[in-house]
Amino acid sequence: MPFQPRLGSLGLLDVTYGLALLLLLGLGVGLFAEDSAHVGLESQRFALLVAASGAVTLGYTAHVLTRLTLPRPAMFVTLLLVLPLVVFALLGSGTTLSIVALLGVLISALVIHERDGDRALRTVAILLALALALSLLVAVLVPGQGRMPQFDGAWRGLLAHKNRLGGLASFGVMLALMYRRDLGRWLWLLLPAAGACLLGSRSSTALVCTGAALTLWAVLMVVRSPAARVLLVALSVTGTALGLGSVQESLGTAFAVLGKDASFTGRVPLWEAILTYGNLGPLGYGLNTYWVPGQELSSALTALLGWQPYYSHNGYIEAAIVYGWAVASLLIATLLTLVLRALLRPGDARLAALGAFFLMYNFSEAVFTQYDNPLLPLGVLVFLVMHRALTEVAPERRPTGSGLPRILWR
């Protein structure tokens, strides 16, 4: 049995788990949000995020070093996401502190998954209930802080932007409806708080993706054919992508009610400009380099668009900017493969629907690279739980004497 240092009655993983929960809660209430007007600003909030992320990273690293083996999901995700960032740090692309922040946020998802296993989503649902309830109170009672006058009073709660609140609330609505039997009394806090924040944020991306994912989940519960399931998800993701990325009169009419235009607040021209003139390559630019005001590339795009963008508003384009096409393609292929395997497996369709939600949501928001976005660790956690569900076998088929950690055979 490997040596496990303990702090009192708590193991090292337990302490790191508590830090990871606090980090996730802090993200959910906007404690670590950077100033959107200054890309890469090392403010006091950012410094706090770096400190919290560093503590989680060191705690989990020490925990891993005391074990004979590393859980296969953790090993795979760690190699996929950590290795290119380490390379960027050695090359000097991006800032080292930003890499520390991103790694800590990603590792917090690994810690919660390893500690809670199948119960991880219930744990984060409780955290979401608390965070969204606080944002709801701030938006209603302190409108000067919790609303955005430039967007006709749309709610942002405790978060930096209304789209952050909308995305977090949409995930909360889906968890509340899909895992309602597992939440107990927490359901009656999470569902109304998430629903109110989703509507109050008036985020068209969150509303469209939530409706599409919930509809898909309802249909998948009825459809049992693997081929039909794959076709449904392909149509849902493609249809949502077209809806979020093209100018359509029907969408323009529908979103006029929300005060939106058919170009989704300038997103479509931005995507076209980046893909045409953005000089994207296979290696990427690292964190906090491409969009810094005054840089050659961002200045050229600003002159072309007539306004200063701070990120691409598309998770796939942003992943290509930060990580390069090679790593971005591998990341996207991995997520698609997990969702596809979940669809081909009969039974519970909740994880497949949640995975499809993240695939759709990233067509209009960039979650993969935003270390102060609470949806980043939540998305990683969903795919880790999905991987766990796909690798579990029946008790009678479990190997004996394999030395595999308990996380795979619980």
Q: 339 in a domain, yes or no? A: yes
Are 321 and 281 spatial neighbours (Cβ–Cβ below 8 Å)?
no
Give the Cα separation of 326 and 321 in Å (integer).
Answer: 11
Specify the pLDDT at position 401: 37
Quote the DSSP letter at residue 364. T
Residue 148 dihedral angles phi and psi, to the nearest 5°:
-115, 105
Helix-, strand-, coil-residue percentages of the chain, each rounded to 5: 70, 0, 30
Q: Quick count: other Cβ atoms within 10 Å of Cβ 192?
A: 15
- pLDDT by residue, tens only, the chain of 410 residues: 333 444 444 577 888 899 999 999 999 988 887 654 444 445 678 878 888 888 888 888 878 776 645 555 555 555 555 555 555 555 544 567 787 888 889 999 999 998 888 789 999 999 999 999 999 999 999 998 899 998 889 999 999 889 999 999 999 999 999 998 888 899 999 999 999 999 999 988 899 889 888 988 888 787 777 777 777 777 766 666 666 554 333 444 444 444 444 445 567 788 888 888 778 878 778 777 787 777 777 777 777 877 777 788 888 888 888 888 888 888 888 888 888 888 777 667 888 889 989 988 988 888 888 888 899 999 999 998 888 888 864 344 444 433 333 333 33
Is residue 228 situated within a structural domain?
yes
- Spacing of C-alpha 35 from chain mean position: 19
**Structure tokens, 218:** 């309802």
Distances (CA, A) of 57 to 13, 49, 111, 266: 11, 12, 10, 37
Amino acid letter, 162: K
Neighbours of 327 (CB within 10 A): 22
**pLDDT value of residue 57:** 85
Query: What pLDDT, on the 0 to 100 scale, is given for residue 270?
Result: 82
In this structure, is residue 56 part of a structural domain? yes
The Cβ of residue 3 has, within 10 Å, a number of other Cβ atoms equal to: 7
Q: Tell me if 116 is assigned to some domain.
A: yes
Torsion angle of C-alpha atoms 190, 196, 200, 201, degrees rounded to 10: 20
Cα distance between residue 85 and residue 159, in whole Å = 26
What element of type H or E holds 116? helix 96-116
205 within a domain of the structure (yes/no): yes
Range of the domain at 180: 6-408
Task: Indicate the burial class of 337 (C-beta count within 10 angstroms; 0-12, 13-18, 19 or more).
Answer: exposed
SS3 203: coil
Q: Is 168 a domain residue?
A: yes
Residue 355 Cα distances to 126, 151, 182, 297, 358, angstroms: 20, 30, 19, 33, 5
Does residue 227 lie in a domain region? Answer: yes
Q: Give the pTM.
A: 0.80
Dihedral class, residue 308 (left if φ above 0, else alpha if ψ from -120 to 50, else beta): beta
| Cα–Cα distance for residue pair 85/319, rounded to 1 Å | 12
- Judge whether 1 lies within some domain: no
Judge contact between 340 and 390, C-beta under 8 A: no
* 157 contacts 165 by C-beta, under 8 angstroms: yes
Bridge-based pairing of strands 147-148 and 10-11 is unpaired
229 alpha carbon, distance to own chain's centre = 24
- Total of domains in the chain: 1
The per-type count for the chain, helices as H runs and strands as E runs, is: 18, 4
